[in-house]
């Protein structure tokens, strides 16, 4: 994302992990950190890594932006706080500190481009609404977890942003929302021996309602029946199907089930379902409680393919 020779300001440097990575490509990095003790460690740590192009500034980034000349850097980078003062998770950039949405005019005066690294808990549509000028948005993660959202924002950009999904070890997936139709076929006859596709968390974060191969089991149940082999997610074989009911759960609880438990579109958590079924955790099998279109509730016993 950063070409050689750029001048970059890291507005929320912390201990400098991102600033040092940027410095390996940039001409210079101005590392802004509010905490004086942390700021004092930035330059010695950079030099220990062989980086001589990092300059630490002990300041509030809001004040630094206000006092800095227009065009002083090419790119501003920011990773705002991911939790509130009370420890609660945040779901909007407006709630994070510093509030990037309020800083945008000053950021675009100082630099024409902004890179924002964000919590995976933030809602993608809200981000795109709050960050006009987003040219690209990256959704990054592993096959088990969405890790980061990164937005590349330009003062001059006015088009539709490109969304890039990067799942470690998997092919890149990129699209614009206008190019990706929503799923419209749901349900299907589900039977033992069928294949179930569960999208990677990054896919679910970026395009939960998109058309993927196979039939989606329910508009709000993000599982696909008999998808193609190149489905962007985990594939399972259906070993057994049980009705989700109180009586059936009591019967199944006596069977010594071993599985990893998940729920999709059910009024119960995975932990609660696991407790009621007396499940012993096992990575060899998957047990998914879900709703199938239109309103049927099932327990799917699955094996990885």
Q: Where are the domains of the chain?
A: 7-177, 195-304
Cα–Cα distance measured from residue 21 to residue 77, given in angstroms and rounded to the nearest whole number: 12
Residues 236 and 252: their CA atoms lie apart, in Å, by: 21
Question: Residue 150, preceding bond cis, omega within 30 degrees?
Answer: no
List the one residue out of 177, 157, 153, 156 whose CA is nearest residue 165. Answer: 177
Tokens of 1: 């994302």
CATH architecture of the region 7-177: 3-Layer(aba) Sandwich (3.40)
Interacting residues of 50 by C-beta distance below 8 A, sequence separation 6+: none
Burial of 163 (0-12, 13-18, 19+ CB in 10 A): buried
pLDDT mean over 156-175? 94
What does the pLDDT read at residue 184? 79
234/188: higher pLDDT: 234
- The arithmetic mean of pLDDT across residues 133-152, rounded, is 96
pTM above 0.85, yes or no: yes
The rounded distance, in Å, linking the Cα atoms of 137 and 53 is 28
- Name the one residue in this structure whose structure tokens are 């399972």: 236
Q: Is the pLDDT of residue 22 over 90?
A: yes
Asked whether residue 185 carries a pLDDT value surpassing 80, the answer given is: no
pLDDT tens for residues 54-74? 999 999 999 999 999 999 999
């Amino acid at each position: 994302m950063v070409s050689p020779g750029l001048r970059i300001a890291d507005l929320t440097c912390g201990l400098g992990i991102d600033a040092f990575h940027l410095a390996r490509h940039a001409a210079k990095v101005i590392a802004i950190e509010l905490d004086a003790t942390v700021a004092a460690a930035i330059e010695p740590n950079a030099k220990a890594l062989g980086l001589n192009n990092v300059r630490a500034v002990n300041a509030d980034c809001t004040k630094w932006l206000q006092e800095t000349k227009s065009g002083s850097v090419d790119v501003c980078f920011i990773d705002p706080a991911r939790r509130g003062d009370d420890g609660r998770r945040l779901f909007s950039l407006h709630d994070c500190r510093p509030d990037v949405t309020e800083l945008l005019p000053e950021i675009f005066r100082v630099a024409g481009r902004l890179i924002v690294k964000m919590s995976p808990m933030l809602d993608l549509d809200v981000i795109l609404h709050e960050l006009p000028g987003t040219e690209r948005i990256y959704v990054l993660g592993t096959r088990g977890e969405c890790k980061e959202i990164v937005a590349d924002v330009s003062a001059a950009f006015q088009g539709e942003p490109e969304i890039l999904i990067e799942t470690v070890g998997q092919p890149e997936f990129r699209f614009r929302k206008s190019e990706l139709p929503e799923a419209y076929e749901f349900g299907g006859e589900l039977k033992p021996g069928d294949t179930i596709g569960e999208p990677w968390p990054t896919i679910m974060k970026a395009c939960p309602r998109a058309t993927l191969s196979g039939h989606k089991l329910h508009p709000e149940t993000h599982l696909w029946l008999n998808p193609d082999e190149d489905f962007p997610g985990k594939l399972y074989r259906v070993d057994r199907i049980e009705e989700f009911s109180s009586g059936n759960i009591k019967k199944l609880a006596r069977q010594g089930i071993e599985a990893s438990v998940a729920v999709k579109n059910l009024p119960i958590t995975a932990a609660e379902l696991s407790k009621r079924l007396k499940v012993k955790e096992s990575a060899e099998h998957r047990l998914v409680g879900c709703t199938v279109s239109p309103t049927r509730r099932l327990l799917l016993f699955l094996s990885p393919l």
